[in-house]
Structure 1
Amino acid sequence: MNTFSLMNRVALYYFITICSTSFGYDATNNSTVPTKLTALKAKQGLSHNNVTALVQDKYDILWVGTEDGLNMYDGNSITSFQDNSEKKLTFNSIRTLELDPLMNKVWIGTNGSLEFYDYERDNFYREHITSNLNTIEDVCKILWDDDLNKIVGVSNQGVFRESKNGYRLISKETSQINSIEKMDNLLFVATESGVSLYDLILNQSIQQYQFDDLNGKQIKVLEAFDHSLYLGTAQGEIYRYEDHQLVRLADIGHSIKTITKDQKGNIWVGSESNGAMILTQGEELQHQKILNKKISSKTINTIYVGNDNIVWLGSFGNGLLQCNLNDPFYTIAEGEGNELGLKNGSVTSILNDDEKIWIGTDGGGLHHVDLQMMSTKVFLPSKSILSLKEVNGILWAGTYKDGLYFSRDKKNFQKLKLFDDQGNTIEKEVVWDILVDNTTYLWMATSNGILKYNLNTKELNRYNYQVDNPNSLSNNDCRKVFKDIKGDIWIGTFHGLNRYRKESDDFKRLYFNNKEEDNMNINNAILSIYEDDKLNFWVGTFGKGLWRLNRQEDLFEVEEINTALPSLFIYSIESSEGNNLWLSTNKGITVYNTKTNTILNYNAADGLQGPQFNVGASAKLSGKYLAFGGTNGVNIFNPNKVLNTSVKPLRPIIKNIIVHSSKVPFNTKKVIYKNHLILSPEERNFSFEYVAVDFRQNHKLEYQTRLLGFDNHWQTTKSNSSILYSNFSPGEYTFQVRARYPHQEWGAIQSFKLQLLPYFYERLEFKLFCTLLLLIMGVFVYRWTIKKMDRNKMKMEGIINERLNVLISEEQLLSDIENQKADLIKETLDKREKELTTHALRLLHLNSLIEQLDEKLLHLQQNPEEFTINKIKSIRRDIKNAENLEKEWEVLNQLFAEVNQPFIKELQELNKGLTDGNLRLCYLIRLNMSTKDIASIMGISINSVKVARKRLRKRLDLSSDVSLNDFILNLGK
């Protein structure tokens, strides 16, 4: 390509994909590639910051060799191994790492031994090369021949080849061996004095004149890629041996430490004290130095290209550095010299300038970044540039407390020295934002109102808040001035939104709740304004989130997504195709899709300069790129690239099972290379540790887990990479886990079978034995119970018979007593009946006596002449005998009540209002007295007795067919 557009240039920065683009490298042209590197150091868990070797296994786990131990890194955690670890290495200083092509092993060359890690046995083992087991074997590199026999280079001892009987020395070098490499059945040996060759088929050393020029040179590195061999020297020279030709590629002046090749064919070179660089193949060799302050002058011990085209750099003293070639975000940050860096990392304003970018910083001045020439020029040094705008070829720059500057040639800047219509100078103004209106007016949002500058007449007007004028600005602290598609000018202040009314030269105030009295610092503080291509009018606030303005009714509508935003401080707003709004905040950048009402959040872990962005620091660049400035630089990216970043299929690995028991609280069992495990009965509480290896977006992964045999439903988590289970019954279970990126399909399921052994008392055999024993005991208890019941039955029968006899005797005694009592009662009743009869007869006699007395008196009355003293005495004797008549009735009543209690009770229950005469008649009828006797006893005539009987029947409500005598005689029976 002969041309280089902004899109291609920025794409180069993002991905560091150095394609066939013209970047000549020589002593006078030091091309650089700005690169973002993520460091992993000892404070993150690495065993040492001097990284010496790297390899990635088939599980995507990265093995990191250091000066002091070996590390396993899965993107989520680091496990370290040293000579004092539970799983020990013999020596800690790692020289080289290689994967076994045949067996599931990682081979480790240290400064004293050849060792390997066995995945199946989860341990390290040493393999001796020489017969002397006490020999220090400084292994510099490990290879395999075509028969998969190992070839091991040992410094100061030679090159050894594996055979059936151990290792055989095939090349004894007199100089120290730095590296070995195999290509086309030839073994190349790099030494301190050149390169020697060995034919692996002929098993003999050979000479090739092409390498004669290297005699006496210290060859540090040998690496073969396909049919090309790359050599690096201690003097900084890089050679390529290809098609029997040895070509010198470059001389960087620093010792070469490592050479590797990426997936695009670019050659990466690590040097001593000069960082890393890239060689690319085009019409001619291209050479660019990696620009990053982490490695610019550091030693790079090893470079390894892993999966997903991630380039890993092992540095001396700066840990492990990750260079993601697919990173969609590129950061221009603080740098030194003429390199593509900023004098101050806090970016406060951005302006597109064709294939260049103007970047204003907080105290570092204005930077003109040339993306094609890889250069930066600084203007207005030490100034804080808050706003930028170009009008008719003139660049305007608003500062913090230093007014407004302008440049006609974009090289020389002048300060605008004017007074406003109120007589105030603007030389110390804080200019937050600049807007051009029809190339005539320049509007400026300041901390002291709005300035309107007429570019033609040079007239400068200031608009301020006025207490008594509701049509003035709502607040003097203005942060944003914006012009919509209709030409209306909008001003965002720290207390409401204002629309400029040109016809009346004043403002209409708008508040979120239509209340001017709302809290000024939160409820109505506006930081950003934006109008998208659908003519939606958006307002970003200071702590109240994102709002949409209904311009027909001048009313604000709050967005539902505010509850899901990571931050409610919206510093700047940009848009991209597909209905996406890009919001910079103090917690990264949020993408809001206004059509689907969904959001995506990006932070420093995704490649942003940091979490904190600055107010108004954003711009649309050429080629649909966006730029946002923050406290640690500016991020430039293609929004479509960010949203459509390719993701690899995810298949998690189950790393460990941690068993929690009373004996060992945390017993970790590594199961990454297994698919099943048996746990003892005591190991009922356990947790699984799992991870989907992703070194770029590990923080965004979502997981689902379930334990078949317990619960078939998936449990979702967005952060945890472990899950705890406790108190499970014995049996077989299958743990399953899967992962995905946000809004993607779930990946493949990883399964692990787990068998929980039962206690002896939970085993089927024990349960059957116990059941049989219980049955036997049941039969025994049954038979014993039957016999005991029979004995008890006989005993109870005797007791019952004995007690029955006693009861019979007692009952007989009671019966006799009752009989005696009945006889006594009967005898008493008979006596009382006799007495009753006697009294009744006496009453009859007394009544008869009274009748006789009455007759005597009647006779004397008729025959007075017969009146004598003796007759008087006789009548007196009769009267005395008749005086006790009423007493006799009382005795009769008492005796009758004693003898006829049931009769008296039932007669009283009839409650018929019976008189004493009625009762006496009832008693006499009850005593079977005749009518004559009743008349005589009662002293009345027989007819009177009949009348009395009729009255009694009436009182007793007896019908005519009921006999009065029968009724009274049956009463009380």
Structure 2
Amino acid sequence: MYYFFTIYSTTLGFDITNNSTVPTKLTALKAKQGLSHNNVTALVQDKYGILWIGTDDGLNIYDGNSITTFQDNSEIKLTFNSIRTLSMDSLENKVWIGTNGSLEYYDYGENKFYRETIIPQDNIIEDVCKILWDDDHKKIVGVSNQGVYREREYGYTLISEETSHIYSIERINSTLYIASNKGISVYDLATDTYLDQPQLSFLHQKQIRLLEAFGDTLYIGTAQGDIFIFNKGVLEHVVNTNHSIKSITKDKQGIIWVGTESHGAYTLIKEKKKYRLQKVLNKKISAKTINFIYAGNDNIIWLGSFGNGLLQCNLNDPFFTIGEGPIKELGLNNGSVTSIENDAGKIWIGTDGGGIHQVDLSSMKITSFLKNKSILSVQKVKNTVWVGTYKDGLFYSSDRKRFKKLIRNDQLNYSIEKEVIWDILNDNDTLLWMATSRGVIKYNLDNGLLKRYEYDESNTHSLSNNDCRKVYKDIKGDIWIGSFHGLNRYCPRTDEFKRLYFNNKASDNMNVNNAILSIYEDEHLNFWVGTFGKGLWRLNRQDDLFEEEEEINKNLPSLFIYGIESSADNFLWLSSNKGISAYNVKTGQILNYNEADGLQGPQFNVGASAQFSNELLAFGGTNGVNFFYPQKVLNTSVKTLQPIIKKLIIHASDHPSVSKKIYHKKSITLQPDERNFSFEYAVVDFKQNHKLEFQTRLLGFDKHWQTSKNTFSSLYSNFEVGTYTFQVRARYPHQEWGKIQSFQINLSPFFYERIEFKIVCIVLLLITLYGVYRWTLKRTHLRNDRVEEIINQRLKTLISEEQVLSDLENQQSILIRETLEKREKELTTHALRLLHLTSLIEQLDEKLLHLQTHPEEFSTNKIKSIRRDIKNAENLEKEWEILNQLFAEVHQPFIKELQELNKGLTEGNLRLCYLIRLKMNTKDIASIMGISINSVKVARKRLRKRLELPTDISLNDYIFELG
């Protein structure tokens, strides 16, 4: 923990040689989180990053997300529950477990524990205290109650002279060191002989409890609390803890960690030629027994305690927190920190309801004052510490032993005994400026006079608002007051204020968008203002106008800026109700930090920030105060995450699900009925507060990545036979995706899905189809023959019947034709008769005309002849009716179509059509109809008009085409 120690020793100015304790941030994993027991005895981390945790009641594996427990009553059983030691065999990929009764190992492939017998006797309890390997990768096992055994080709052989009370063993090259109740024995593994080491004879009177080797150096721990170092034949006493040494380990930075009995943990620091202990201070371990310390991956130190579970110390965590807890263990009476002030190597921390605390990091002591007060502000002026409270006024102390309350009235005769003092400013060690809920108070330290400045509606040069939260002095010496309604600059010449607003308007009503909580001037003289809900603004002091930092405000997690500090490289550090943000003024870069990164919590408090020498920053919130070096925070990179695929769970409706561990495998083949399955995956990440994001896909099924947050499983069902590849990758929010982890799954087919079965089925089907085809073909031939015979018989009958029908049709056709011909003759005859009658009438007319002109030829005979002709002409109309009737019989289709197309034709029009149809010429038509040829032409024109015939269509052709 030299990292934490360096922060305070180099920053606050106390002597490093006097610092004997180290404040440490620890995270506990206990039985309530799933650990099998709170007494942790052994630890080891495998090549997958998974932590194996041995306890007094079972073995646990922990991946940062979940715990799996193995005991003698588990489905995967251990022989004995009490774990004494753990060791990783990376060559054979096995975890070896030494219990209080056996030597066992875990086989990843079989997912089982196997016991390996050391002493081939019945009912022998093998209390294994440690497991080592020689150069031939043969095991050397220390059995507490039986001796030290070495693995041979034919089994284990006893190599120790002492066969009881073996406490520890350790190996450096070919030399084996054995710690027992008689001291330390030295054994040469190359020659199988004991060596005389007189330098170690001094230790025979000590109760050696622990041996650990780092390189060529052997560390020796005793029950009396002594730590010795043996290197190159030289034994050196390093230090005495006065408490039995339980564990010694070395981290990747070379720091030695020491676990003791009933007195917590230490780090061993070498300064020049001397060593000293530095206590790891945390209430979780200060008075606890630390059974085992393990330096794991990612610079994490694991401390296995007696009764307090497993404790995690992340050396990469740049944030150190002092929070609520017992005073004797560097804790605060109340975790809500409201103010911070440096005081010559000591830190004053004000809390909400827990008073003010003086933290002395050189002695790791905390002294509290005003224990039940709500502290809002603290300021050191010369040798006096001034403390502002909530509704309790102002307190001060010059001796740092007790605080007195300031009893004063201002010029308006207002007492400050019940004042709410949000902020205090030291102005040249002569004036105190106090931002209060009733304006600003200026206290003259020389004459003791108080002057209050308040908002005056009638005076535009008074304060803009009485609720003031921040008072600040810039590099020019100007005093600035941030209120809940604008910014105020004090003018000492006139003893007045100039008001500045974000909207540049002095509204009478309070506007929260003008509320100012924090003020800061950086080294480049940029003047920054943090607001209550409007983000970060910069003041243009030439024009006294505010300029909004729009880009940063878009990317800040919160627009409530509670505190502003700065660091090198142009960074502003902003606290809010959603963590801390680092803003690079030059590049515009924004980095956001929250509880997952090690902060005390998301919520910080107004005014609770401070900058110490050497750039150490402090921000207080509702769960404590965070100290950190900005550069350390900026340089802390987020590692690229690589997930592991832990389990494959087979789901079935007729029996319980089956879980298979697969993180050590690359592929698996499933049975035909194992088509419903899910994958469980995780990131071996022990930053417990970090939220994770995963992307998964099943190649052969998914076309795209499926994204989920803090979901550690994916379910698939009803897949077709084939080979699929499950892939998963992970990241912290807003970081780059990590490496893809893949696992191949082969789905075995049912017998009826196999290609061989399908081929056999196809062959049998083809044979069957061929047989059916042959049988059908033969049957078809027989049926065709019978059908052909029947067809021939029926065909003959049909032909005969067809012949009869044909004869009948021919006869009918002849009859119809003869009838039509007869009717046609009759029609023609009647047409000729009409023509004759018409001619007769014409002749009769000529005779009468002749008698009229030649009356002298009138005679009885002439009269008789004319009367006879008249009688013959009397039947003309009747003949027309007969002609119409005959025409209708012969030319029925023609008449029907003519009437359908031209419904407005007269009787004369129809007679003209009939005569044209009968192919009568104009002269005949004129004679039959008894009109002149010109009248026929006129009648034809009228008929064309009625028929609406174009001029290019012949009337005769039109009538012939009808019907």
Q: What TM-score bracket applies, with the shorter chain setting the length? A: 0.7 to 0.9
Aligned twin of 1:64? 53
Query: Which letter maps to 1:382?
Result: N
Counterpart secondary structure, 1:108 = strand
1:629 equivalent in alignment to 2:629 = no
- Measure how far apart 1:125 and its partner are: 1.0
- Measure how far apart 1:66 and its partner are: 0.2
C-alpha distance in 2 between matches for 1:777 and 1:279: 88
C-alpha distance in 2 between matches for 1:160 and 1:925: 140
- Structure 2: gaps spanning 5 or more residues: 946-950
Aligned twin of 2:341? 351
C-alpha distance in 2 between matches for 1:222 and 1:487: 64
Aligned twin of 1:321? 311
C-alpha distance in 1 between matches for 2:909 and 2:116: 139
1:72-111 to structure 2, matched below 5 A, reads 72-100=61-89, 102-111=91-100
1:669/1:937 Cα in 2 relative to 1: closer, same or farther (>3 Å)?
A: closer
Partners of 2:557 and 2:578 within 8 A in 1? yes
Partners of 2:239 and 2:275 within 8 A in 1? no
Deviates more, 1:369-378 or 1:347-356: 369-378
Deviates more, 1:420-429 or 1:368-377: 368-377
Partners of 1:7 and 1:622 within 8 A in 2? no
Corresponding residue to 1:398 among 343, 364, 388:
388
Query: Which letter maps to 1:764?
Result: I
Aligned twin of 1:945? 932
Corresponding residue to 1:23 among 12, 17, 22:
17
1:921/1:109 Cα in 2 relative to 1: closer, same or farther (>3 Å)?
A: closer
Partners of 1:512 and 1:556 within 8 A in 2? no
- Measure how far apart 1:134 and its partner are: 1.6
Query: Which letter maps to 2:53?
Result: V
1:488/1:924 Cα in 2 relative to 1: closer, same or farther (>3 Å)?
A: same
Partners of 1:385 and 1:398 within 8 A in 2? yes
1:445 equivalent in alignment to 2:432 = no
1:565-964 to structure 2, matched below 5 A, reads 566-567=557-558, 569-593=560-584, 599-645=590-636, 652-662=643-653, 666-696=657-687, 699=690, 719-737=710-728, 750-773=741-764, 775-776=766-767, 795=787, 802=795, 805=799, 810=805, 813-814=808-809, 816-838=811-833, 841-842=836-837, 844-845=839-840, 848=843, 945-949=932-936, 951-952=938-939
Query: Which letter maps to 1:138?
Result: D
1:462 equivalent in alignment to 2:453 = yes
Counterpart secondary structure, 1:699 = coil
Aligned twin of 1:121? 110
Partners of 1:913 and 1:955 within 8 A in 2? no
Corresponding residue to 2:359 among 353, 369, 376:
369
1:493/1:292 Cα in 2 relative to 1: closer, same or farther (>3 Å)?
A: same
- Measure how far apart 1:73 and its partner are: 1.9
C-alpha distance in 1 between matches for 2:871 and 2:256: 166
Partners of 1:312 and 1:321 within 8 A in 2? yes
- Measure how far apart 1:62 and its partner are: 1.9
C-alpha distance in 2 between matches for 1:322 and 1:965: 119
Aligned twin of 1:331? 321
Q: Deviation per CA, 1:853-899, whole angstroms, max 9, x where unpaired?
A: 67667777x899x9x9x999999999899777666666666666666
- Measure how far apart 1:83 and its partner are: 0.7
C-alpha distance in 2 between matches for 1:208 and 1:907: 145
C-alpha distance in 2 between matches for 1:931 and 1:633: 131
Q: Percent identity?
A: 60
Corresponding residue to 2:265 among 253, 276, 280:
276
C-alpha distance in 2 between matches for 1:102 and 1:902: 111
Query: Which letter maps to 2:347?
Result: I
- Measure how far apart 1:594 and its partner are: 5.7
Aligned twin of 1:296? 286
1:905/1:267 Cα in 2 relative to 1: closer, same or farther (>3 Å)?
A: closer
C-alpha distance in 1 between matches for 2:918 and 2:111: 123
Partners of 2:453 and 2:462 within 8 A in 1? no
Partners of 1:550 and 1:557 within 8 A in 2? no
1:619/1:781 Cα in 2 relative to 1: closer, same or farther (>3 Å)?
A: farther
Partners of 2:851 and 2:857 within 8 A in 1? no
Query: Which letter maps to 1:342?
Result: L
C-alpha distance in 1 between matches for 2:734 and 2:537: 25
1:6/1:325 Cα in 2 relative to 1: closer, same or farther (>3 Å)?
A: closer
- Measure how far apart 1:400 and its partner are: 1.2
C-alpha distance in 1 between matches for 2:200 and 2:377: 61
1:179 equivalent in alignment to 2:196 = no
C-alpha distance in 2 between matches for 1:970 and 1:708: 83
1:84/1:587 Cα in 2 relative to 1: closer, same or farther (>3 Å)?
A: farther
Q: Deviation per CA, 1:719-759, whole angstroms, max 9, x where unpaired?
A: 44544455544444445555666777766555444433333
Q: Deviation per CA, 1:489-545, whole angstroms, max 9, x where unpaired?
A: 665555x53444757945646467989799967x66554444556666655455565
1:306 equivalent in alignment to 2:296 = yes
C-alpha distance in 1 between matches for 2:539 and 2:505: 12
1:465/1:73 Cα in 2 relative to 1: closer, same or farther (>3 Å)?
A: farther
Aligned twin of 2:948? none
- Measure how far apart 1:640 and its partner are: 1.5
Partners of 2:722 and 2:746 within 8 A in 1? yes
Counterpart secondary structure, 1:99 = strand
TM-score, normalised by the number of residues in structure 1: 0.82
1:539/1:678 Cα in 2 relative to 1: closer, same or farther (>3 Å)?
A: farther
C-alpha distance in 1 between matches for 2:244 and 2:290: 10
Query: Which letter maps to 1:366?
Result: I
Counterpart secondary structure, 1:311 = strand
- Measure how far apart 1:630 and its partner are: 1.7
Alignment length (residue pairs): 948
TM-score, normalised by the number of residues in structure 2: 0.83
Query: Which letter maps to 2:155?
Result: G
- Structure 1: gaps spanning 5 or more residues: 15-19, 25-29
Query: Which letter maps to 1:235?
Result: Q
Query: Which letter maps to 1:830?
Result: K
Query: Which letter maps to 2:651?
Result: H
Partners of 2:170 and 2:176 within 8 A in 1? yes
Deviates more, 1:701-710 or 1:305-314: 701-710
C-alpha distance in 1 between matches for 2:364 and 2:850: 172
Counterpart secondary structure, 1:281 = strand
- Measure how far apart 1:155 and its partner are: 3.0
1:691/1:462 Cα in 2 relative to 1: closer, same or farther (>3 Å)?
A: same
Query: Which letter maps to 2:451?
Result: L
Partners of 2:228 and 2:235 within 8 A in 1? yes
- Measure how far apart 1:81 and its partner are: 0.9
Partners of 2:218 and 2:231 within 8 A in 1? yes
Deviates more, 1:930-939 or 1:569-578: 930-939
Q: Deviation per CA, 1:101-154, whole angstroms, max 9, x where unpaired?
A: 753322211111121222343321112222323222222223344554433333
1:729/1:895 Cα in 2 relative to 1: closer, same or farther (>3 Å)?
A: closer
Aligned twin of 1:427? 417
- Measure how far apart 1:313 and its partner are: 1.0
1:81/1:808 Cα in 2 relative to 1: closer, same or farther (>3 Å)?
A: farther
Partners of 2:464 and 2:488 within 8 A in 1? no
Q: Deviation per CA, 1:392-417, whole angstroms, max 9, x where unpaired?
A: 67644321111233456766655443
